[in-house]
Amino acid sequence: MQAGKPILYSYFRSSCSWRVRIALALKSIDYETVPVNLVKDGGQQFSEEFQALNPMKQVPALKIDGITIGQSLAIIEYLEETRPTPRLLPLDPKKRCLVRMISDLIASGIQPLQVWRLRTCTCAHCAEPTVRCPVWA
């Protein structure tokens, strides 16, 4: 890996990782990808190596500027603040607020119900997982 180049720990099916890859592409930031397979071997995110990098055991994680950032919205916000061009957020505070409302709605309201980790964890504890989980997911 090239020194100084950001490293994105990512899974190809992760919508959170997609958000970060899109932001990196829009800002033309050259980076390297380290795939973290969330299914293989019970989930590579549970390896000691990855847990040392991101104790939350989640993707994406971005190593950049000497720090490691987890959570897609935090990563995107950091990129926007440290690499301001091209802009991802509108200049107008009201429009910026609207973008953040939509982003939070997706990240906190809609997307969690689609996350396989949550569905399998919750369904494993349901008395009748095939009946209950499809109702809310």
- Alpha-carbon distance of 133 to 22, in angstroms, equals 31
Phi-psi category of residue 87: left, alpha or beta, with phi > 0 → left and psi -120 to 50 → alpha: beta
* Same structural domain, 5 and 64: yes
3 and 53 belong to one structural domain: yes
The residue segments making up the domain with residue 135 are 89-137
Answer yes or no: do 49 and 5 share one domain: yes
Check residue 35 and give its pLDDT. Answer: 96
Structure tokens at 61: 């994680």
> Based on the domain organization, do 127 and 114 belong to the same domain?
yes
Instruction: Walk along the chain (137 residues) and give the pLDDT tens digit of each residue.
Output: 556 899 999 999 898 999 999 999 999 999 999 999 988 888 999 999 999 999 999 999 999 999 999 999 999 999 999 999 999 999 999 999 999 999 988 887 666 555 555 555 555 555 554 545 555 54
Q: Do residues 75 and 100 share a domain?
A: no
Long-range contacts at 55-58 (CB < 8 A, ≥ 24 apart): 58/16
pLDDT attached to residue 51: 93
Q: What is the count of structural domains for the chain?
A: 2
24, 33 contact by CB (below 8 A) = no
Structure tokens at 84: 């301001």
**What does the pLDDT read at residue 96?**
96
How far is CA 94 from each of CA 90, 99, 106, rounded to the nearest angstrom? 9, 9, 19
Distance (Å, rounded) from C-alpha 128 to C-alpha 24?
A: 42
